[in-house]
Structure 1
Amino acid sequence: MLEGIRVLACGARDAVRLCATLLERAGAAVERTASDSADYDVILVSSDFDDANVVARWKTSGSHMVCDITATGPQDSRAGRRWSDAQIQAMSGLMDTTGFAHGAPVRIGVPLTEISAALYAAAAIAAAVRVKRMRGIVQNIDVTLSGCAASALTTFLPAAFARRAVGRLGNRHPACAPWNAYRTRDGWILICTGTEEQWRKLKQEARVPQLDDARFASLAERVRHVDELDALVESWTTTLTTDDCTRICESIGVAAGPIVGVRDLADEPNFRMRHAQAARAMKAHGVDADTYRDVSIFETSALSDALPVAKRAVPCERGANAAPLAGVKVIEIGQYTTAPLVGKHLAALGAQVVKIEPPGGEAARAWSPGQGGTSYFFALNNTDKETIALDLKQESARAYLRTLLKDADVLVENLRPGALAKLGFTREALGAINPRLVYCSISGFGMTSAYPSRPAFDTVIQAMGGLMDLTRADGAPVKIGASGADILGGQAALFAILARLAAREENAGAFIEISMQDVAAWCALFAAGNNSARGQALACLDGHIWMEREVSDAERAQCSALPKAVAAVKLAGATPVMRVDELLQDGDFLADVLSAARDANGAFWPVLKAPYRLTKTPACVRAAPGAPQAVRLAPPAPARAPVPEDRPA
């Protein structure tokens, strides 16, 4: 996809190293040591760690695309300092959203902001390569860890917009119960119930008489009495092994999975099936600094082997100010986070994105809080899209979708594996409709999976991908507060799609497969093999500060008697742990991250800027989504009148 692109990766940040690995995976040639005679297309740097003067010369030369990954933007009041991933977690709100409700904030066990910056940088580079190949424009790219951290807060910012308190939930869900990590006879299991039917089946299997109590008769009551509910559920799970409990949940359609240790991934059935070579190496040699490189976060193949190769007429608008994806048409069939994240970034980069919603709209539209009948969460994830309502169970709606797909360039979806095929849109069928289509499927465990019938939520994937094993509060595994598996899976898909669109050759259609568990494991293995400095959150009068050094008892006592802003000044190396609602009073957040968009009715909505900046063809967030438009479909063919049976006279 990026064959022929030469990359120099010389920045000191983990994000540079990870981004280089991603570009290599997409076909680029990467060098880690500069050569005076080399003609690089892309130079990866981190100017807050590297020689800023050298970086400035590269940026102004006009002969290279320079991608500069830094902690904060150049206009940020904190610019230029060597902020670590953990410090960015603290100052961005990510740390305060991770951990148990009545405990201290918890550092996410993987360098989430570095990983996110690497993925967004790789995607932005692919977009810039496409612009250079098609229009000859060379430009620079800036990516900030702080912007990437803010982009991961879409489940928490809505409450802050509505001036509501934003707190930690641990492994629980704010609106569903039971939804938590529970001890078993030999480990932990993550169980998530999202419907009354799932709760009824789980209660029936558990056979704990107290679960029939009126306190748990409705969802609202279960959430209100969640402490008692969780204790009763755990009284059942502790009688079972993790494997037995998982099998029971899968048999009744309840999303569940074991909390897998990073070093146990080699024995995890789906990981072992999808990454046999990596699993064997881990069994033989353990996890080291390069183990993560043996795991691919996306797989590409032909859309359909049954069709002849068809040339892609690469769409493009030639104007100097045209966006990177001007002329590209995208169909999105997605909900919640993963596919919508992909769609909103493709739209920000200039693509026409048509989002297919079910009749009545995507369920997330109705989440609280919001305005005008649409949630802030939905708006944050669906900017700049055309939205239409289609009931794909109806043949007329499927026929309309086939019409949309005929001239589309990309189809991205995050339905359950096989769901689109059951509607008649197999890879072969899609290839027959449009042989040049790039089709990206995002799922929890992949299209080829050891768990073809197992439902997957973000929390389950965090558990089964090693992320929760590395993120612990007082020894107990805890999920990343943000929807880490969903977000990282969406970012991986975004990069894979953009790399395919940037390919030099006019490619035939392609199939891109994203398994969120693959992406989670890639992140966890990197973190396990590249240990970062530990630290601790210290309590203050009004919150916490984050320290990355040993703290004396006297300093701890001093900190507890001070507001966190004062403690951060008095204790060397301290960083205040910001709450999400506090970000809305932070000048840097308001200037560098937050923006406003209008919907079709003229109402203003708070939205987020893209965390990557292309200097000549920038990504732009412009419009909030409106209501899904109804489509006038052809009426069904009238039923034929029955033919009378011949009867003997």
Structure 2
Amino acid sequence: MLEGVRVLACGERDAVKLCAALLERAGATVDFAAANSVDYDVIVVSSDVDHAADWKASGAHIVCDITATGPQDSRAGTPWSDAQIQAMSGLMDTTGFAHGGPARIGIALTEISAALYAAAAIAAAVRVKRLRGIVQNIDVTLMACATSALTTFLPAAFAGRSAARVGNRHPACAPWNAYRTRDGWILICTSTEEQWRKLRQEARVPALDDARFATLSNRVTHVDELDALIETWTATLATDDCTRMCERIGVAAGPIVGIADLHDEPNFRMRHARAARDIEANGIDAKTYRQVSIFETSALSETRAAAKPRTRNSEGNAGPLAGVRVIEIGQYTTAPLVGKHLAALGAQVVKIEPPGGEVARSWKPGQGGTSYFFALNNTDKRTIALDLKHEADRAHLRTLLKDADVLVENLRPGALAKLGFTRETLGAMNPRLVYCSISGFGIASAYPSRPAFDTVIQAMGGLMDLTKSDGAPVKIGASAADILGGQAALFAIVARLASSADEAGTFIENSMQDVAAWCALFAAGKGASRGQTLACLDGHVWTEGDVTDADRARCITQPKAVAASGIAQAVPVMRVDELLEDSDFLADALSAARDASGAFWPVLKVPYRLAKTPACVRAVPGAPEIVRRAPPAPARAPVPEDRHAAEIRDDMR
């Protein structure tokens, strides 16, 4: 992928080190010290920690500068920590239980996110240099990476509301929570009435038949009573037994895996046997995470047909991926996040939606019948509605795929194959296709039939064990497993497109649990970070300095902005809705896009800046185009895959 690219990584910031590890995983040669920087194609540095001005001014290298805040930010130049950025960006306030205070996320989420976005931006810049001879600088900020993860919380702020912390619950689904078992914890997540019916029958708790729980809205209203009753059932079972029971009835569930026990988690042990044995024998140290791969690549098909070279190159300051054609099949966060960034980088992205459009289009709040959430995750795409139960629509998809460069999807493993789109078939119709499959547990998995949600992956990847509120495990408020999984897929795809190797088709496998484990092991290898939240009149402050009883007493009587100014290394913990009154957020992160009718939408800029071939967010898609089907042909026997086609909606995660 990036073979032949030489990288110099300078500095102590975690994002620099992680970015270097990612580039090395993609084939680049990485050094962490050098007397002569002339020999390097790429330099990764953090100018708020180390000197970078001369390298950036020379024009001789692709220089990626990862800083806490942007150069125009009023807080620029200060090497803020990951936790301080969590607090200032609103991320920290989204994590924790409703009855308690905000909780620090147990992994360096903003550093990790910055590393992933920086690696993708570097790969894009390498592609531009290879195809057009343009060398440019890149700026990535932890603050922009943090705010870009707020897509589930910003919609409420756009509507003038404040989104409350929900702990391990879902604001619109119930039951959806962490429940105690006989020997630990289990996450159970229901999203349909059918799942609730099956769970209620399995639990055999008579009170669950009460009218208070008859409808989803009633269950959400009475969620405290509901969760208490569910736990009377789970508390009688071992975690493994409860998990298997939920898997059998098609309900997403999984144990909260302790980081020290990750090596015994069956899917992790199956997919990363060497790392599991090493953890079991030696524990977790600063290098353990490097034994876990966040993506795998292989030939698209066993039959490697001759591939025609790509000829759609662009000149000048067009986006790095100008001329690249992408097909996206997926919903909610992971695949849409990948498609959004590929489009911002200049690719032509066609999003395939089911008839009636993606479910997330209708989520509240929004405008003109489309949700803010959907708009934030799907900018600059052309959208088409296809009913893949019908052969005519599958034929249209085949036509699109024949001329595509990339296919990215987050269906259940095997869903496309059931519809006739196996790797062999895809390789035959398009020998140079880059096909990226994103799933919860991977293609080769100990759980081939287990559904996966972000919350379950956070639990089973070690993230929840590292994030605690009042001593109890709690999920990261942002959809961290979904977002980080999408970022890892984005990097793998762009790195493949930057390759100077032959144009043979490539299959990229991305498991969200692998990415979550990679992040959790990195955090565990570093050890716990110092700091605490203090309650104030109007919220909380986060401090990493020494705190006295007098400081705590004074904070309670002061607004958080005043309290933070009087305590060493303290910053206010911002609410997400407060960001809309923050001049730095408005200038550096927020932007406006238009839809086909001319209406304006609040959207987020990408958190990386390429100096000469910028990534741009411009438009929000309207309703999906409807493909006109030909009149039905005379009835005939269905093709074999049709017996599975009705499952496609269930396979859309």
Q: TM-score, normalized by length of structure 2?
A: 0.97
Alpha-carbon shift at residue 149 of structure 1 (Å): 0.3
Q: Which runs of 4+ in 1 moved over 6 A?
A: none
Structure 1 CA distance, aligned partners of 2:135 and 2:202? 61
Measure, in 1, the Cα distance between the counterparts of 2:635 and 2:153.
Answer: 51
Equivalent in the alignment of 1:200: 197
* Partner Cα distance (1:214, 1:640) in 2: 47
Matched with 1:229 is: 226
TM-aligned CA deviation for residue 320 of structure 1: 1.1
Answering whether residue 29 of structure 2 is matched by residue 32 of structure 1, we say: no
Match of 2:419 in 1: 423
Residue number among 587, 602, 610 corresponding to 2:598 in the alignment: 602
Q: Is the 8 A contact 1:2 1:503 kept in 2?
A: yes
CA shift digits 1:29-68 (9 cap, x unpaired): 00000222751000000000112xxx11100111101000
Deviations 1:132-190 (A, max 9, x none): 00010000000000000011000000000000121100000000000000000100000
The equivalent residue for 2:276 is 279
Identify the residue that residue 212 of structure 1 maps to in structure 2. 209
**Counterpart AA for 2:256:** I
- TM superposition shift of 1:82: 1.2
Residue 128 (structure 2) pairs with residue 117 (structure 1): no
Counterpart amino acid of residue 3 in structure 2: E
2:47: which partner in 1? 47
Aligned to 1:166: 163
The verdict on how the C-alpha distance between 1:309 and 1:580 changes in structure 2, with shifts beyond 3 A counting, is same
Match for residue 91 of structure 2 among 86, 91, 94: 94
1:338: how far off? 0.1
* Contact 1:10 1:34 (C-alpha < 8 Å) held by counterparts: no
User: Paired residue for 1:386?
Assistant: 382
Tell me if structure 2 keeps the 8 A contact 1:400–1:633: no
Q: Deviations over 1:505-541 (max 9, x none)?
A: 2320000000000000000000000125221110000
Contact 1:538 1:545 in 2 (8 A): yes
- The amino acid across from 2:16 in the alignment is V
Structure 1 residue identity aligned to 2:329: I
Unaligned runs of 5+ in 2: 638-653
Structure 2 SS opposite 1:584 = helix
Q: Output the CA distance in 1 between the equivalents of 2:530 and 2:309.
A: 49
Distance 1:508 1:571 in 2: 58
The answer on 1:180 being equivalent to 2:198 is no
Match of 1:60, SS? helix
2:37 equivalent to 1:3: no
The alpha carbon displacement at 1:572 in A equals: 2.0
Aligned to 1:620: 616
**What 5-or-longer segments of structure 1 have no aligned partner?**
642-649
1:257 is matched with 254
Aligned to 2:644: none
Equivalence for 1:645: none
Equivalents in 1 of 2:159, 2:636: separation in Å? 56
Answer yes or no: is the 8 Å Cα contact 2:545–2:568 preserved in 1.
no
> Measured at CA, do residues 284 and 399 of structure 1 come closer, stay the same or move farther in structure 2, by a change above 3 Å?
same
Please show how residues 401-550 of structure 1 align to structure 2 within 5 Å: 401-550=397-546
Instruction: Tell me whether 34-43 or 469-478 shows the greater mean CA deviation.
Output: 34-43
How far did 1:312 drift? 3.6
1:478 deviation in Å? 0.2
Q: CA deviation at 1:617?
A: 0.1
Q: Which amino acid aligns with 1:29?
A: T
- Between the aligned partners of 1:120 and 1:309, the Cα distance in structure 2 is 33
CA distance in 2, matches of 1:534, 1:174: 31
> Is 1:396 the equivalent of 2:408?
no
Q: TM-score, normalised by structure 1?
A: 0.97
Matches within 5 A, 1:558-569: 558-569=554-565
Q: Give the deviation of 1:263 after TM superposition.
A: 1.6
Shift of 1:639: 2.8
1:634 aligned residue: 630
SS of 2:477's partner is coil
The C-alpha deviation readout for 1:178-227, integer Å capped at 9, x for no partner, is: 00000001000000000011011111111111111111111101000100
Q: Encode CA deviations 1:344-377: one digit per residue, 9 max, x unaligned.
A: 0000000000000000000000000000000000
The correspondence of residues 310-349 of structure 1 with structure 2, limited to 5 A, is 310-313=307-310, 315-317=312-314, 319-349=315-345
2:545 touches 2:567 (CA, 8 Å); kept in 1?
Answer: no
Task: Write the distance in 2 (CA, Å) between the matches of 1:178 and 1:468.
Answer: 19
Q: 2:140 matched to which residue of 1?
A: 143
Q: Percent same amino acid among aligned pairs?
A: 80
Cα distance change on mapping 1:85 and 1:33 into 2, 3 Å: same
> What one-letter code is carried by the residue in structure 2 that aligns with 1:401?
L
Pairwise CA distance, 1:574: 1.0
Any conservation in 1 of the 2:305–2:427 contact (CA below 8 Å)?
no
How many residues are paired up?
637
Contact 1:396 1:635 in 2 (8 A): no
1:640, distance to aligned residue in structure 2 (A): 6.7
The alpha-carbon deviation at position 573 of structure 1 amounts to: 1.5
| AA aligned opposite 1:437 | L
SS of alignment partner, residue 189 of structure 1:
strand
1:312–1:508 CA contact under 8 A, matched in 2: no
Whether the aligned pair in 2 keeps the contact of 1:314 and 1:506 (CA below 8 Å) is: no
The one of 525, 550, 557 aligned to 2:553: 557
Amino acid of the structure 2 residue aligned with 1:273: M
Residue 541 of structure 1 contacts residue 561 of structure 1 at CA under 8 Å; is this kept in 2?
yes
Deviation at 1:419, TM superposition (A): 0.7
Match of 1:446, SS state, is coil
CA distance in 2, matches of 1:507, 1:406: 14
Alignment deviations for residues 73-95 of structure 1 (CA, whole Å, 9 cap, x no partner) = 00000000010000000000000
Tell which deviates more after alignment, 102-111 or 625-634: 625-634
